[in-house]
Amino acid sequence: MINKIIDKTLKLKYEDLVKKDSLLPIKVSNFYRKKIEEEVQTIGICGPLYKSVIPTKDKIEVKTSIETRDYVEENNHMPVKNVDYIIRKYNNRLVFIITDICFAHCQYCFRTYNLSKYQAGNTKKTIVEKITTLKNYLKNNKEIKEVIFSGGDPLSIGYENLEYALKSLKKWDIRIHTRAIIYEPSIFTNKIISLLKEYNVRLVFHINHPYEICEQVQDKIKKICKAGIRMYSQFPLLRGINDNSLVLIKLLEIMDNLHIRPLSIFIPDPISYSACFRLSFKRIIKIIDEVNFSTPSWINSTRFTMDTTIGKVRRENIVKWIGNCITFSRDNKEVKYYDLDEGIDTPTQIKTLLWKENY
């Protein structure tokens, strides 16, 4: 079916890059594909949901002068020798890459390189081994209070593995970052919801666009909410997907109505093959101001933030800005961020981003 909505030559070129340059293969869930088909039928292949999971010509061809494979340098924050699934940047919490499998592959994924490299899968053996290693590390690092399940999508590991993981780690606060709610909402069965409730999990949804929240997704979110599970949101600011304050405000309003607490909107990392998703920093600041100055605090309390190798930084952490190079500082450490080259960032028209409304 995907063949119908992607140019054959472009697909071949992309598949070649998957092999040569470790990009993630195209993967789209049936649930999400139906939404893309509706979008394509109405506005063609320029829409926000299409661009989220299908490679475009710009994804392959647009480059900016400074890009890197792994801007946040996760490899430098792996405290256990030869273990690439425990990432620790903070004193009291760590990230646990419980799986490298996702329900669909996001074209802008900042972990593209690492995910395509690991591909260890979701077997019980892999999960048990990973948890044993993690528990040994936690035993010797008692200051860690929270384990953040990330991936991949932690909810792709299935009920049995998830139950095992949550039971094994019940002494720690567990946070799960997931995009399953919009790619495969059917996985939120009553059984999974009860399990998440039983272990008092915090669920952090990654939802980028208002049209990802259809009625079916809303129904699931309401069930999760009714069960008393704490829900939050975190998502990236992406050109062609949500690069307009009106889209962000609409999304935050919808999520607020569904009792999802907003945490952060991420400024995308300057990674390879991401130039078509990035915004110039000047435009990022303009969007932040538009959101801040036109909304009540339950919307504008959302932080615009960027993950770096020294931890999360925000606009107020900028200490130097010379040409394309912006320096951020925190905890007496500095990190450089390289802005997009001039002329790359063309704002997406609101009538494309919110094509269902009358703009």
Q: Which residues bind ligand SF4 (CB under 6 A)?
A: 102, 105-106, 109, 111, 151-153, 179
Of residues 235 and 328, the one with the C-beta less far from ligand SF4: 235
Phi and psi of 221, rounded to 5°?
-60, -40
Locate all alpha helices (DSSP H) within the chain, ordered by sequence. 8-21, 30-43, 48-53, 57-61, 112-118, 124-139, 159-168, 180-183, 190-198, 215-226, 245-257, 281-294, 297-300, 350-353
Q: Which is nearer to ligand SF4, 53 or 138 (CB)?
A: 53
Q: Write down the least CB distance from residue 27 to ligand SF4, Å.
A: 8
Q: What is the CA radius of gyration of the chain?
A: 20
- Closer Cβ to ligand SF4, 108 or 299, answer by number: 108
**Prior bond of 44 cis (ω within 30°):** no
Contact (Cβ atoms closer than 8 angstroms) between residue 180 and residue 156: yes
Please name the residue ranges forming H helices in 258-326.
281-294, 297-300
Instruction: Give me the amino acid identity at 13.
Output: K
Least CB distance to ligand SF4 at residue 21 (A): 16
Distance CA 100, CA 122 (A): 8
* SS3 readout for 197-228: HHCCCEEEECCCCHHHCCHHHHHHHHHHHHCC
Shortest distance in whole angstroms from residue 152 CB to ligand SF4: 5
Nearer to ligand SF4, 183 or 328 (CB): 183
Give the integer Cα–Cα distance in Å for 243 and 279.
8
Please state, in angstroms and rounded to a whole number, the distance separating the CA atoms of residues 19 and 24. 9
Cβ 236 to ligand SF4 shortest distance, Å: 8
Pairing of strands 303-308, 311-313: antiparallel
Strand order of the β-sheet with 318-322 is 318-322, 325-330, 333-338
Residue 177 beta carbon to ligand SF4: minimum distance, rounded to whole angstroms: 8
Nearer to ligand SF4, 101 or 310 (CB): 101
- Amino acid at site 209: H
Cβ nearer to ligand SF4, comparing 53 with 166 = 53
Residue number with CB closer to ligand SF4 (64 or 99): 99
Which lies closer to ligand SF4 via its Cβ, residue 48 or residue 151? 151
Nearer to ligand SF4, 178 or 324 (CB): 178
Alpha carbon distance, N-terminus to C-terminus of the chain: 31
Sign of CA pseudo-dihedral 37, 42, 45, 48: negative
CB of residue 216 to ligand SF4, shortest distance in Å: 18
